[in-house]
Structure 1
Amino acid sequence: MTVVLAIDQGTSGTKAIVVDGAGRTLTIAEAELHPRYGEGGLVEQDPAALLASVLDTGRRAVADAGRPIDVVALANQGETVLAWDPRTGAPLSDAVVWQDRRAESVCAELGEHAETIAARTGLVLDPYFSAPKMAWLRRHVTTEGVVTTVDTWLLHHLTGEFVTDAATASRSLLLDIDRADWDRELIDLFGLGDERLPRIVACDEVIGTTRAFGGEVPVAGLVVDQQAALLAEGCLDAGQAKCTFGTGAFLLANTGTTAVRSTSGLTSSVAWRAAGATPYCVDGQVYTAASAVRWIRDLGFIRTASDLDSAAAKESDGTLCVPALAGLAAPWWRPDATATFSGMTLSTGPGHLVRAVLEGIAAQVATLCDLVASDLGAPLTRLRADGGLTRSATLMQAQADLAQMPVDVYPSAHATPLGAAALARLALDPHLTLREAVGQWQPSAVYEPVWSAERAAQFRSTWTAVAETTVRKGDLT
């Protein structure tokens, strides 16, 4: 029975779990990370801290498990990039996080090519994705070494290899999504024609070995974080969808073997390349979810995220919030949008503001559900949910009410590393099916809508009008 060390290297922290052959989590080790935020949309991380967190959490998890591991899996942030020296592995820049907006100028210059880029990649021309940030680094920081997503750098330190997985590569704006391979014309378009790009591998491919966590073991199960969660939650068939409520909120829906070109402002990516197949997914993003909760914590409205339900008002007083603290993603794609509260009166208290933030997150996700349904040609019937904010019953109930569908909460807080672990098991045992590698699960909670469809529609109509006002305000600045 395969024992897996699965590492989830994320924006706000790194988590390592050891999973036994039956899929049971034996140990967990975590390390908090602190991105730096600055003017002009700067969001950066210290690469040394990222690497140290991977090594530290992995070693602690293995030590606590007290048993040898058979394979190491790695899930990554997706669109975070850095420059580094391929001879020494030394970083040549800070890691530019997916939330960073400084590459807006790169995207503006390529605006006339936006439709071509979307047709080839399935993505929207936006600084959220890897290529604009890579080009920005080359212009403003260094022309030395290589510039890649963080996973390639971490894997180089672990194995000496120079690779990325197909799902992560599909988030770059440099991949022909139908072929799932690098597109030379796109690479040249972003001014990256001289770059050495990593080899694209399958998510269930053994890419090498590492001694970083004890004895020499293979490394496999490479995948971008949101697709890992989609897999762990068993969204293996077209039309099944999940939303991860983490630093941001990320809704993904499996579209089968077709790379859907969204007509509603969403993006299309490789879900995973595994078991000889390459399914796709459409996805939409809410840039600030847990990060919005940290914001209200820092303002003193709550002490910790666990206080959300006790701090939130039981009923809204009409206060609405568009928590666009880092801009608005689909369907607006307005990085310049800012957060807005409206409808406040002298009787509005901190609890009403807390509730408004949670309902604002849920309203954005509900909007994404509608857009996914438009692209799929059929409505979603259920939504699977994971991530730290699923512990808030207030948020989950608001999600069910505003999306007008049941929300099934994934029973583990570790969907992303569990998805990576499933891919690693598949790599070591090719006789397994993907469904067998993932296993079955039952929700820890199910939230059914209690609002009427009319009430939900009225709320969302009013909230959308406020969101559109926020976007128009950006047009005037």
Structure 2
Amino acid sequence: MTGPVLAVDQGTSGTKALVVCPERGVIGTGSAPVRPRYLPGGLVEVDPTELYDSVVTAGRAALAEADTPVVAVGLANQGETVLAWDPATGAPLTDAIVWQDRRAAALCVELTAHGDELRQWTGLPLDPYFAAPKMAWIRRRLTGAGVVTTSDSWLVHRLTGEFVTDAATAGRTGLLDLDTVSWSAPALDVYGLGGERLPRVVDADTPVGTTTAFGPPIPLTGLLVDQQAALLAQSVTAPGAAKCTYGTGAFLLAQTGTTPRRGDSGLVSCVAWRLAGRTSYCLDGQVYTAASAVRWLTDLGVLSGAGDLDTVGATVPDSGGVTFVPALAGLAAPWWRGDVRGSLHGLGLDTTGGHLVRALCEGIATQVVELAAAAASDLGRPLTSLRVDGGLTRSALLMQTQADLLQLPIEVSALPDATALGVGAVARLGLDPGLAVHDAVPEWKPSAVYEPEVTGAEAAERLERFRTAVAALLDGDGGSSPV
């Protein structure tokens, strides 16, 4: 099959679109910002119209730059962001509640007795990070009208008129049976959503419909949730391989093959993708705040932006004894304590912005180490390396810190915008069922490899300081300087 595809990644803080040609690579790019509202009490929401408009704006910009027709379009989505909307008109009935939002925490506490059976059915813990608690909250507190779904179903409906979601996105709700890859009636009943009209669950490489939102009619042939799209673009298709994406949060996924693995490490077991009727599974762990923690330091005036991490961090040789637990939106896997807030320990009159930056890099990297250790435990063997992508991989300081603390090579993707490239590959598979997965995915190669530069003993000492700080938070002692 020949011809470029339009790949659109609708993310938390913006939408990125690429026109990807099988012969020439990326020949057109476009982007549009999205501005979530961060409100008191852990609330995060966004105008759904802004999500849709960003998709159209970014897609049209990429097509204009490429100045060539495309044969298909693929759409990646945020995963756990939800809204209610009118299926007759497509009009939103609520704001979109973003994946970081914690307003459904009390509902999760109410359902605690069902936590174990929900995890067994769906692979997911009972936590407001996932879509189902947010959906139930909307039904209880905002409206019983229309349908309530993840944002991808609404975007696809606006683009094509169809009512679908891909299997991997459905797996992020807490309502999908992990073994049958179909909606779980018992889980729906637990959340009080048993009578809901839900989208049809489709393969990621399914021709869904046709859109004219970008100009001429284009078939929409690829749908995939963002982190799984990045997993595919990184060519992490063999059991035991892993990748981490450093974006608004940090997300580590480890491939487990055709069988779901329900471990006890605190990681999530979920669908990686379903292609041509065959389901692959992965283990998934999250760090809620990565780039968003960098933005927090920026708002405080410590940095001028993420591009400043290395410059400011280079002003000091180490963190100066400062430990930063950047749990600014709670602790995710493997702790699942959304009620916890961040802390700074070891501050002194000699503490500088450089110390805070290095402590933040260690805080992010250490949480990824905990996720990697949990993945190795569930897989029954250690990871041998970690492939990484996302905006924060531009920071040599963060990547070297990650290699040092993980004590493994960190392989930075040479392909920017891995999520868009992954869903572009899926769109190509949806248009040409005879195409092999490895032929649809761009050749993977690292732009840089960071090797550990400290001893295992030093890494262990730095990890232990962080774990001690986390233990203090979990015990209810916020430490010296809670944030």
TM-score by length of 1: 0.98
Report the 3-state secondary structure (helix = DSSP H, G, I; strand = E; otherwise coil) of the residue aligned with 1:273. strand
Q: Secondary structure at the match of 2:278?
A: coil
Contact 2:343/2:478 (8 A) holds in 1: no
The one-letter amino acid of 1:166's match is A
1:326 to partner: Cα distance: 0.2
CA contact (8 A) 2:28 2:64 kept: no
Alpha-carbon contact 2:15-2:31 (below 8 Å) kept? yes
Residue 346 of structure 1 pairs with residue 370 of structure 2: no
In the other structure, the counterpart of 2:395 is 392
**What residue is the counterpart of 2:256 in the other structure?**
255
Q: Is the 8 A contact 1:27 1:61 kept in 2?
A: yes
Partner of 1:336: 339
In the superposition, relative to structure 1, how do residues 195 and 24 fare at CA in structure 2: closer, same or farther (>3 Å)?
same
Residues 255-312 of structure 1 deviation map (CA, whole Å, 9 limit, x = unaligned): 0011010210000110000133211000100000000000001100111211110011
Equivalent of residue 411 in structure 2, options 408, 413, 426: 408
**2:242 matched to 1:237?**
no
Change in 2 beyond 3 A, CA 1:255/1:335: same
Residues 403 and 409, structure 2, Cα contact 8 Å, conserved in 1 = yes
Q: Which amino acid aligns with 2:286?
A: Q
Aligned match of 1:458: 461
1:435 deviation in Å?
A: 1.2
Q: 1:418 aligns with which of 403, 416, 421?
A: 421
Equivalent residue, structure 2, for 1:308: 309
Letter in structure 1 aligned against 2:105 = E
- How far apart in 2 are the matches of 1:2 and 1:119? 43
The correspondence for 1:431, drawn from 424, 430, 434, is: 434
Which residue pairs with 2:86 in the alignment? 85
SS in 2 for 1:263: coil
Count of aligned positions: 477
Shift of 1:23: 6.4
Which SS does the other structure have where 1:242 is aligned? strand
Identify if the C-alpha distance between structure 1 residues 136 and 333 changes in structure 2 by more than 3 Å, giving closer, same or farther.
same
Question: In the aligned structure 2, how far is the partner of 1:56 from the partner of 1:84?
Answer: 22
Q: Please tell me whether the aligned partners of residues 2 and 425 of structure 1 are also in contact (alpha carbons under 8 angstroms).
A: no
Structure 1 residue 424 displacement after superposition: 0.8
Q: 2:110 maps to which residue?
A: 109
| 1:193 shift after superposition | 1.3
**Superposed displacement of residue 30, structure 1:** 0.9
Residue 201 (structure 1) aligns with:
202
Find the partner of 2:363 among 337, 340, 360: 360
Secondary structure of the residue that 1:193 maps to in structure 2?
A: coil
Which has the higher mean CA deviation after the structures are superposed, 446-455 or 467-476?
A: 467-476
CA distance in 2, matches of 1:21, 1:440: 11
Corresponding residue number in structure 1 for 2:376: 373
Measure how far apart 1:475 and its partner are. 9.6
Q: Tell me the CA shift for residue 106 of structure 1.
A: 1.3
Q: Secondary structure at the match of 1:451?
A: coil
Match of 1:470 in 2: 473
2:193 alignment counterpart: 192
Query: What residue in structure 2 maps to residue 225 of structure 1?
Result: 226
Q: Trace 1:275-286 onto structure 2 (pairs within 5 A).
A: 275-286=276-287
- Letter aligned with residue 275 of structure 1: A
- 1:301 corresponds to which letter in structure 2? V
Alignment of 1:28-177 (within 5 A): 28-177=29-178
**How much has 1:215 moved relative to structure 2?**
1.5
SS at match of 2:462: helix
| 3-state secondary structure, aligned to 1:25 | strand
Q: Deviations over 1:361-412 (max 9, x none)?
A: 0000011010000000000010000000000000000000111100000112
**2:333/2:371 contact within 8 Å kept:** yes
Q: Deviating runs (4+, > 4 A) in structure 1?
A: 474-477
State the percentage of identical aligned residues: 57
**Following TM superposition, by how much is the alpha carbon of 1:34 offset from its aligned partner in structure 2, in angstroms?**
1.2
Q: Which SS does the other structure have where 1:302 is aligned?
A: coil
The structural deviation recorded for 1:14 is 0.6
Structure 1 unmatched ranges of 5 or more: none
Q: 2: CA distance between counterparts of 1:465 and 1:117?
A: 31
Residues 123-168 of structure 1 show CA distances to partners (whole Å, capped at 9, x for unaligned) of 1110000000000011111111110000000000000000000000
Asked if the contact 1:336/1:474 (under 8 Å) is kept, the reply is: no
- Match of 1:271, SS state, is strand
Matched, 1:210 2:211: yes
Name the structure 2 match of 1:447.
450
* Secondary structure in structure 2 of the residue aligned to 1:396: helix
The answer on whether the counterparts of 1:83 and 1:147 sit within 8 Å (CA) in structure 2 is yes
Partner amino acid for 1:149? T
- Supply the RMSD in Å over aligned alpha carbons: 1.3
Quick one: distance in 2 between partners of 1:110 and 1:138?
A: 16
Instruction: Tell me, in whole angstroms, the C-alpha distance in 2 between the residues paired with 1:261 and 1:474.
Output: 32
Contact 2:118 2:126 in 1 (8 A): yes
Which deviates more, 370-379 or 138-147?
A: 138-147
Alpha-carbon contact 1:122-1:262 (below 8 Å) kept: no
Tell me which of 330, 344, 352 is aligned to 1:327: 330
The residue type equivalent to 2:256 in the other structure is T
Name the CA distance, whole Å, in 2 between partners of 1:474 and 1:126: 22
In 1, the alpha carbon distance for the partners of 2:338 and 2:475 equals 13
Residue 296 (structure 1) aligned with residue 297 (structure 2) = yes
Residues 23 and 418 (structure 1), Cα distance of their counterparts in 2 relative to 1, 3 Å cut: farther
| Cα distance, 1:42 vs structure 2 | 0.6
The one-letter code sitting in structure 2 at the alignment partner of 1:246 is G
Supply the distance in 1 between the matched residues of 2:278 and 2:454 (Cα, whole angstroms). 41
| Separation in 2, partners of 1:101, 1:441 | 36
